[in-house]
Amino acid sequence: MSNTSLLNETHNPALRSWVESANVENCDFPIQNLPFASFKTKASDEEFRGGVAIGNQVLDLQAVFALNVFEGDVQVALEACSKAQLNDFMSMGKHFWSALRQALSQALTQGSALEVKLIDCLVAQDSVEYALPCHIGDYTDFYTSIHHATSVGKKFRPDNPLLPNYKWVPIGYHGRSSSIEVSGSDFKRPKGQTKAPTATEPSFGPCKRLDYELEVGVFIGNGNDLGEPINIEHADDHVFGICLFNDWSARDIQGWEYQPLGPFLSKSFASTISPWIVTSEALAPYKTAWTRDLADPQPMPYLESQQNRAQGSLDLNLQVLIATEAMRKAEQAAVQLSQSNFKDSYWTVAQMVTHHTVNGCNLRAGDMFGSGTQSGPNPEEAGSMLELSNAGSEPISLPNGETRTFLEDGDCVIMTGWCKKDGAARIGFGEVTATILPAS
The confidence score (pLDDT) of residue 61 equals 98
Within 10 A of 163 (CB to CB), how many other CB atoms are there?
A: 12
pLDDT, tens digit (0-9, with 9 covering 90-100), for 271-281: 999 999 999 99
> Cβ contacts of residue 199 below 8 Å, gap of 6+?
none
pTM of the shown model: 0.96
Give me the residues paired with residue 51 across strands: 37, 60
Amino acid at 364: R
pLDDT, tens digit (0-9, with 9 covering 90-100), for 239-256: 999 999 999 999 999 989
- Asked if residue 370 has pLDDT above 70, the reply is yes
Q: Kindly state the DSSP code that residue 431 receives in the 8-state scheme.
A: E
Between 4 and 18, where is the model more confident? 18
Q: Compute the half-sphere exposure of residue 169: CA atoms within 13 Å on the CB side of its CA.
A: 12
**SS3 of 384, please?**
coil
Residue 45 burial class via C-beta count within 10 angstroms: exposed 0-12, middle 13-18, buried 19 and up: exposed
Q: What is the mean pLDDT of residues 3-23?
A: 88
Q: Which fold has domain 139-437?
A: Fumarylacetoacetate hydrolase; domain 2 (3.90.850)
- Asked if residue 1 has pLDDT above 50, the reply is no
The reply to whether 238 belongs to the active site is no
Determine whether domain 3-131 maps to CATH 2.30.30.230: yes
- Measuring CA to CA, how many Å separate 87 from each of 20, 36, 243, 280, 372? 31, 12, 15, 16, 24
User: Which candidate in 11, 95, 135, 148 is catalytic?
Assistant: 148
pLDDT, tens digit (0-9, with 9 covering 90-100), for 27-38: 999 999 999 999
Q: What is the mean pLDDT of residues 102-112?
A: 98
pLDDT, tens digit (0-9, with 9 covering 90-100), for 300-355: 999 999 999 999 999 999 999 999 999 999 999 999 999 999 999 999 999 999 99
Q: Kindly state the DSSP code that residue 394 receives in the 8-state scheme.
A: S
Within 10 A of 11 (CB to CB), how many other CB atoms are there?
A: 21
Q: What is the mean pLDDT of the chain?
A: 96
**What backbone phi and psi angles, to 5 degrees, belong to 288?**
-145, 170
Asked if residues 385 and 211 have their Cβ atoms less than 8 Å apart, the reply is yes
pLDDT, tens digit (0-9, with 9 covering 90-100), for 216-238: 999 999 999 999 999 999 999 99
What are the DSSP calls for 106-150, one per residue? HHHBTT-TTHHHHGGGEEEGGGEEEE-SS----EEEE---HHHHH
What are the structural domain ranges in the chain? 3-131, 139-437
- Asked if residue 369 has pLDDT above 90, the reply is yes
The confidence score (pLDDT) of residue 197 equals 87
pLDDT tier at 3, thresholds 50, 70, 90: very low
Amino acid at 344: D
The confidence score (pLDDT) of residue 2 equals 38
pLDDT, tens digit (0-9, with 9 covering 90-100), for 152-181: 888 777 888 888 899 999 999 999 999 999
